[in-house]
Amino acid sequence: MDTNYEILIIGTGFSGIGMGVKLREMGIHDFAILEQADEVGGTWRDNDYPGAACDVQSLLYSFSFDQNPRWSRMFAEQKEILEYLKGVADRYGVRPHIRFGCKVTGARWNDRRGQWKIELEDGRTFTSKVLIAGSGGLSRPAFPVIPGQDVYRGPAFHTARWDHSFDLTNKSVAVIGTGASAIQVVPAIVPKVGQLKLFQRTPAWVMPKPDREIGRFEQRMYAAMPFTLHAARASIYWMLESRLIGFVGKPALMEYAKKDALAFIHKEIQDPELRVKVTPDYAFGCKRVLLSNDYYAALTRDNVEVVTDGIERLGERSVVTRDGVERPVDAIVYATGFQVGDFSAAPFEITGRDGIDLREVWRDGAEAYFGASIAGFPNLFLITGPNTGLGHTSMVLMIEAHIQYVSSAIRTMREKQLATVDVRKDVQDAFNRRLHARLSRTIWATGGCKSWYQTSAGKIVALWPGSTVTFRKRTEQFDLSKYEATAASAIAEAPQPAEAPASEIAGSV
Ligand code: NAP
């Protein structure tokens, strides 16, 4: 028997929890949030590798409606962000709506009923009028295909699935990758391991992290005088927002930042060979700019080797590079990122009108309308879908903009008694033509790098080429004229014995 809700949300990261808060604020209670794990948190639950922390200031990397005066640092660590998210779920009454242990494997649109049917791994099924995917762009770890992976016999794990049962003490550890995760994990484990072999394919531009403790006095001030907290958040917001110009407007401005980054390498690393190894040959900002105060210093330690020769294969307990050198290792850490780019479809099968498969629709790179709606997939909303990522500021800003957009859509559907809304294909196509014309002039396209922002053919599917101000403004109100709509009365009435609101069945919300 299907369990039916008006609205189903997938995932309990910032997106799912924030959406739940908004629905309750709107007086909507007939909704559930499906979560595959047994706790909330999304990426901040899964990425608990040593050193995991935010690289955006916490005063901004938090909900605008629940600003936290008690962050202990400017850039909070993973545990503190996870506690914050758990707190939001509890404080705003979202937790009773969450169905833990619900791993979604498929979602299928039923045009006759105007309903989504959601299938779980364990065979259970749910139905809902509206489906909101808050499963995030960076949720599925990417593992490179390396010859010999079937031969290798030692422990191996991804940063997003850290094996805490494995003791790294005095072990020889290979870390593959030098992105945002690697630059946090390397300094965190280097004092403990015996040897660390860092396999670098492409170096990243790294800048100092303006991190510091937030002392008791400052915390008390933020709590007692909330306007000081709001002012501090606003100043961080505008400082980060102003950086956008270098990415999308005047890429030449990045030359100034590049000089600073080169000076940072020079200051932190004395060995000329290592300096050359870590210096990128592409434009500053083309890949995500990383922030760290201890990464370069970690690379200069005696027990660290930065290997740039390229991995040829794995042996039983070793990594062999193209120059023929075999390095024995006790464990391999894959800091190799997430399935975005070519793999940007949802982590489960989504079938829309006339049986169309989203993976097929997105074969040449994901597209949507403002990253939220996809033609042919009625009543489906993505929170931070294609082209909504940012290279310069907090993703929570985009998540909140999308929550506002989806809530405006739901309000419109309720007020106008609509059964379905489906974005017009011509509107979506025109939107994407303009978007990609703009993206083609950004540093992400012209900077001479390959990044996870792109598909293998070079199409940028991850980033929004504008300011968060513009995005927020343009997504504030749902515009029904951009959608094809069906009135509720037009949906055929079918006998639906199993479709009583789940709140009556589950009884809890
Ligand atoms: P990433 O930026 O995609 O980095 C993956 C790394 O693995 C790259 O250095 C890549 O090299 C390397 N790699 C992939 N396949 C390889 C292979 N076959 N051989 C050698 N190296 C290989 O992934 P990430 O570091 O997990 O970060 C992903 C995103 O997550 C970030 O950009 C950020 O948005 C987010 N994140 C945020 C934080 C935070 O503090 N808020 C922390 C971690 C992650 P190439 O560059 O050559 O492809």
- Give 104-119 pLDDT, tens digit per residue: 999 999 999 999 999 9
Give the position, in ligand 1's atom list, of the atom nearest the Cα of 337. 23
Q: What is the pLDDT of residues 188-231, one digit of tens each?
A: 999 999 999 999 999 999 999 999 999 999 999 999 999 999 99
Identify the residues whose C-beta falls under 6 Å from ligand 1: 53-55, 138, 144, 176-182, 199, 201-202, 288, 311, 335-338, 452
Indicate if the pLDDT at residue 433 is higher than 90: yes
Non-local CB neighbours of 217 within 8 Å, separated by 6+ positions = none
* pTM listed for this prediction: 0.94
Residues of the chain with pLDDT > 70: what percent?
95
DSSP 402: H
Give the position, in ligand 1's atom list, of the atom nearest the Cα of 55. 40
What distance in angstroms lies between residue 507's CA and the mean position of ligand 1's atoms?
A: 43
| pLDDT (0 to 100) of residue 504 | 35
Given its phi and psi angles, is residue 175 left (phi above 0), alpha (psi -120 to 50 degrees) or beta?
A: beta
User: Which residue's CA is the closest to the ligand 1 atom numbered 31?
Assistant: 180
Q: Which of 64-73, 84-93, 177-186, 338-347 has the lowest mean pLDDT?
A: 338-347
Q: Rounded to the nearest 5°, which phi and psi values hold at 502?
A: -65, -25
Under 8 Å between Cβ of 436 and 366: no
| pLDDT (0 to 100) of residue 138 | 84
Query: How far apart are the C-alpha atoms of 269 and 265, rounded to whole Å?
Result: 6
Indicate if the pLDDT at residue 492 is higher than 70: no
| pLDDT (0 to 100) of residue 499 | 44
pLDDT class of 250 with cuts at 50, 70, 90:
confident
| pLDDT (0 to 100) of residue 493 | 57
Under 8 Å between Cβ of 305 and 196: yes
Q: What is the pLDDT of residues 374-411, one digit of tens each?
A: 999 999 999 999 999 998 999 999 999 999 999 999 99
User: Which residue's CA is the closest to the ligand 1 atom numbered 18?
Assistant: 144
For residues 429-442, give the mean pLDDT.
97
349-351 and 104-110 strand pairing: parallel
User: Which DSSP string do the residues of 8-76 spell out, in sequence order?
Assistant: EEE--SHHHHHHHHHHHHTT---EEEE-SSSSS-THHHH---TT-B-SS-TTTSS-TTS--TT-SBSS-
What distance in angstroms lies between residue 190's CA and the mean position of ligand 1's atoms?
A: 19
Under 8 Å between Cβ of 306 and 278: yes
Query: How far apart are the C-alpha atoms of 451 and 443, rounded to whole Å?
Result: 12
Indicate if the pLDDT at residue 34 is higher than 70: yes
Cα 54 to Cα 79, 197, 501: the distances in Å are: 10, 25, 39
Indicate if the pLDDT at residue 284 is higher than 90: yes
For residues 431-435, give the mean pLDDT.
98
For residues 251-267, give the mean pLDDT.
93
Give the position, in ligand 1's atom list, of the atom nearest the Cα of 47. 43
Which residues, listed in sequence order, are joined to residue 321 by a DSSP beta bridge?
311
Give the position, in ligand 1's atom list, of the atom nearest the Cα of 336. 7
Q: What is the pLDDT of residues 145-163, one digit of tens each?
A: 999 999 999 999 999 999 9
Q: What is the pLDDT of residues 37-68, one digit of tens each?
A: 999 999 999 999 999 999 999 999 999 999 99
| pLDDT (0 to 100) of residue 500 | 41
Mean pLDDT score of the chain, rounded to an integer?
A: 94
Non-local CB neighbours of 301 within 8 Å, separated by 6+ positions = 190
Q: Which of 24, 47, 44, 65 is nearest to 182 (CA)?
A: 47
Pocket test for ligand 1, best of 198, 451, 452 (most atoms within 8 A of CB): 452
Q: Which of 394, 355, 358, 390 is nearest to 373 (CA)?
A: 358
Query: How far apart are the C-alpha atoms of 57 and 486, rounded to whole Å?
Result: 44
| pLDDT (0 to 100) of residue 509 | 31
| pLDDT (0 to 100) of residue 186 | 98
What distance in angstroms lies between residue 129's CA and the mean position of ligand 1's atoms?
A: 37
| pLDDT (0 to 100) of residue 424 | 98
Q: What is the pLDDT of residues 324-357, one digit of tens each?
A: 999 999 999 999 999 886 655 667 899 999 999 9
What distance in angstroms lies between residue 183's CA and the mean position of ligand 1's atoms?
A: 9
191: tokens are: 């004092």
Under 8 Å between Cβ of 57 and 209: no
Give the type of residue at 348. Answer: F
